[in-house]
Amino acid sequence: MNHIFLLLADAPTATSGLGKLGEFLATGGYVMLFIVLCSFLAVTVIISAWLRLRDHLVLPASVMSQLRSLPNYAAKGDIKPLQEFLEHNESLLAKLGALAISGTFSSRQECVDTLTARAKEELHHLERGIPMLEVMVTVAPLLGLLGTTAGLVGMFSAFGSEAGPDTTEVAKEIGVALRCTIAGLFVAVPSVVAHTYFVRRLDQVAVRLESIMHETIQTFFAHFEVQRSSSNRN
């Protein structure tokens, strides 16, 4: 596997920066391969989570505006245009909003319980992969420490050779030790930043969903009850 890094270091590159990167990775030894794999996994998770948590897929402003206009639809006596708008929108808020105003629940509490369970399920779906970043925060530095330890073992072995200390081998092993540590931290630091951001983002989404759904359910059932009581009087 170390030959992969050697080929990467020797391959012609468009810029000298890529060549230096290949040399850096090649010097790291076998442990560096696992650190690179961790970095690819972390980048994949970050990109995937960012794509899932974009506003127009989770909490689009247009859907929030339409849900807050529910009293206007109730005043007109026709909620069907709002239901059709929500059905054609693929965002998380639209799905929950359409369920909230579907009129299929016999009581407000039943609607709240169903929406709460559905929201938890959807948020769990949005969270997939993000816990892997927390794993990377722990694993990447440990792999760096493993590479450092392996480099130190090789360094002391070079010192203890019968022919005397091999300074070239010592320098190489020191490079392995230090570069693995740097690479492990280089993966761990962005991972912990991304993990913190996505956790906060999910918390923000959960709070806003709860607030909007509570307002929507209250408004819908208030107007529904008024209309029902009016029909009873007639």
pLDDT, one tens digit per residue, over 33-92 is 888 889 999 999 999 999 999 999 999 999 999 999 888 888 887 888 898 999 999 999
Q: Answer yes or no: are the C-beta atoms of 92 and 209 closer than 8 Å.
A: yes
**Domain hosting residue 145, numbered range:** 32-52+77-229
More confident residue, 25 or 219: 219
Say whether 1 sits in a helix, a strand or coil: coil
Which residues of 60-217 form beta strands (DSSP E)?
none
pLDDT of residue 147: 79
- Report the chain's mean pLDDT, rounded to a whole number: 80
Chain segment 94-127, per-residue pLDDT in tens: 999 999 988 888 888 889 999 999 999 999 999 9
Residue written as token pair 């990467």 = 8
Q: At 181, give phi and psi (nearest 5°).
A: -65, -45
Q: CA distances (Å), 218 to each of 90, 101, 189, 215, in order?
A: 23, 10, 44, 5
Look at the chain and report how many structural domains it folds into: 1
Reply yes or no on whether the pLDDT at 12 is more than 60. Answer: no
> Per the domain annotation, does 13 fall within a domain?
no
> Per the domain annotation, does 224 fall within a domain?
yes
CA distance 67 to 94: 9
> Per the domain annotation, does 220 fall within a domain?
yes
> Per the domain annotation, does 113 fall within a domain?
yes
Chain segment 149-198, per-residue pLDDT in tens: 777 776 666 565 566 566 676 666 676 677 788 888 989 999 999 999 99
Tell me what percent of the residues of the chain surpass a pLDDT of 90: 41
pLDDT of residue 226: 38
pLDDT of residue 232: 40
> Per the domain annotation, does 11 fall within a domain?
no
pLDDT of residue 40: 92
For the chain, the residue count is: 234
Reply yes or no on whether the pLDDT at 135 is more than 60. Answer: yes
Please name which of 76, 99, 69, 191 lies closest in space to residue 139, comparing C-alpha atoms: 191
Reply yes or no on whether the pLDDT at 27 is more than 70. Answer: no
| Sequence-separated (6 or more) residues with CB below 8 Å from residue 211 | none
> Per the domain annotation, does 4 fall within a domain?
no
Reply yes or no on whether the pLDDT at 31 is more than 80. Answer: no
| Sequence-separated (6 or more) residues with CB below 8 Å from residue 94 | 60, 63, 85, 86, 87
> Per the domain annotation, does 114 fall within a domain?
yes
> Per the domain annotation, does 69 fall within a domain?
no
